[in-house]
Amino acid sequence: MATPPPSFEIHPLLHASGARSYVVVEPSSRDALVVDPILEDAAEVLRVVGSRRATLRFVVDTHLHGDHLSAAALLREKTGAEVVMGAAADCRVVTRRVGDGDVLALGETGLRVRAAPGLSPEAIVLQGPDVLFTGDTLLVGTIGVRDVPGDDGAALYDTIQRIFDPLPDETVIHPGHDDMGRSRTTIKAEKRGNRWMREKDRDNFLARWASDPRPVSKLAKDLAAANREGATASSPELAPVASVGTPAKGAGPVVAPQGMGAGKTGGLVPSGLAEVFVVVGAVSVAGCALGFLVHPLLHLIPGVVGVLAIVLGMVSASRRPKKTHDGFFYTGPQARALRR
C-alpha cells in the first residue's frame, strides 16, 4: 500500500537561543501559516514562504512571549496575514482571536486550535493529523518558564490531562524550544520522560509547580509589553539602541528593549586588552625586581612602565560594563548544537 503524502510541509526555523518557529505549508493550495515567529527571523520566514511559492495566511503566536520579540506585527505589515492568538490574549496586534475547536483553514484542510491555559491564560496549541505545535506549553522533557502574567498551575494540569494525555503515542510534537539539540518529540516519549506529564496526582503536580526553581529574566516584563503593543513600534519600554536582526526589505525599524545588544565599551583600553595589560605589567614588574640584582637604576624604567600597565588594565577592567542580554533567553536545559 502506498504511503499517503504528508498533510503539511513543516519548515522549522532554529534560533541559537533555543527558541523555535515553524512555517507550515499545505501542499495542494500552498497556503501557509507560521507558528511563534521571532522578530529577528522575520526575513527568513518570508524567504521560506517565498521559496515554497506559498501564501502566508496566518501568523500564530501560541502565547504572549516573554522570552523574545514576536515578528507578528512586522509579518502582518508585510503580508497582510491574520495575526492569531487565543481568545484571552491581551495584545493589540491580534486580528483574529480563536477558541478551543476553531480551525485555521489551509486549503481544504487546516490545523485545529486547542485552548491550553496554564503558562498563560491565552495559550493555545495547534493540532493536525498526528502532529502538534505546542509553543511553550509542552517542551521536550519539561514545560516552559512562567514569564508572562496569568500563569496557573491547576489550569496547566487540566490542559495536560485534557489535551496531551489522550493523544496517540505516535503524535509528533513540535515545541517552542529545543532541548539539548532535540528539535521534536512524541507523545510516547513525553509520557515516559517528562515528569510534568507523568504526574497524575494533582496535589503533587501543584507542589512541583510551586517549587519550580527556574528564574524568570528581568527582561520578561519589557518583552511581553513590547509584544503586546507590536514589536516594530516604539513604546516606553523600547528604544532603538540595537537591531535585533535584519528585517525584510522595506520593513520598518526593528528595535529592542533598552540594554539589549549593547556593545562592550566604557573601558580605558579596547575590550579584551585590559587583561593583557595586567599580565604584561605583572611580567614587567617581576623582571624589574630581578633586574635590581644587576643594575637598580636601569631597571626603574621598566618597573614604572609595568606599574602603569597594571593600573591602566585594572581600572579599565573595573569600568567595563557587565555584558548585556542579546534579547533572547530560555532557562531550560543547556542547549547543544542545534539540528533539524
pLDDT digits (tens, 9 = 90+) for 136-184: 999 999 999 999 999 999 999 999 999 999 999 999 999 999 877 777 9
Distance CA 44, CA 13 (A): 8
Could you tell me if residue 163 is inside a domain?
A: yes
For residues 246 and 303, membership in a common domain is answered with no
Could you tell me if residue 3 is inside a domain?
A: no
Reported as a single tens digit per residue, the pLDDT across 24-77 is: 999 999 999 999 999 999 999 999 999 999 999 999 999 999 999 999 999 999
- 190 membership: H or E segment, kind and range: helix 187-193
For residues 34 and 95, membership in a common domain is answered with yes
Q: What percent of the chain has pLDDT over 90?
A: 61
Reported as a single tens digit per residue, the pLDDT across 303-313 is: 666 677 677 76
For residues 307 and 224, membership in a common domain is answered with no
Could you tell me if residue 249 is inside a domain?
A: yes
For residues 164 and 251, membership in a common domain is answered with yes
At a CB cut-off of 8 Å and minimum separation 6, what does 151 contact? 118, 119, 120
Boundary of a domain, candidates 205, 232, 257: 257
Could you tell me if residue 339 is inside a domain?
A: no
For residues 45 and 174, membership in a common domain is answered with yes
For residues 100 and 148, membership in a common domain is answered with yes
Distance CA 208, CA 164 (A): 19
> Which SS3 state, helix, strand or coil, does residue 320 take?
coil
Average pLDDT over residues 19-26: 96
- Going by their DSSP bridges, the two strands 238-239 and 55-60 should be labelled as unpaired
List for the chain the helix, strand, coil content (%; round to 5): 30, 20, 50
For residues 287 and 200, membership in a common domain is answered with no
Q: Give the residues across from 104 on adjacent strands.
A: 111
Give residue 123's domain range: 9-257
The yes-or-no verdict on residue 239 having pLDDT over 50 is no
For residues 311 and 214, membership in a common domain is answered with no
Could you tell me if residue 125 is inside a domain?
A: yes
Could you tell me if residue 338 is inside a domain?
A: no
Q: Give the residues across from 115 on adjacent strands.
A: 124
For residues 164 and 282, membership in a common domain is answered with no
pLDDT of residue 5: 62
Could you tell me if residue 340 is inside a domain?
A: no
For residues 224 and 308, membership in a common domain is answered with no
> How many domains would you assign to the chain?
2
Cell of 82: 491574520
Could you tell me if residue 335 is inside a domain?
A: no
For residues 135 and 81, membership in a common domain is answered with yes
Confidence tier at 265 by pLDDT (50, 70, 90): very low
For residues 153 and 237, membership in a common domain is answered with yes
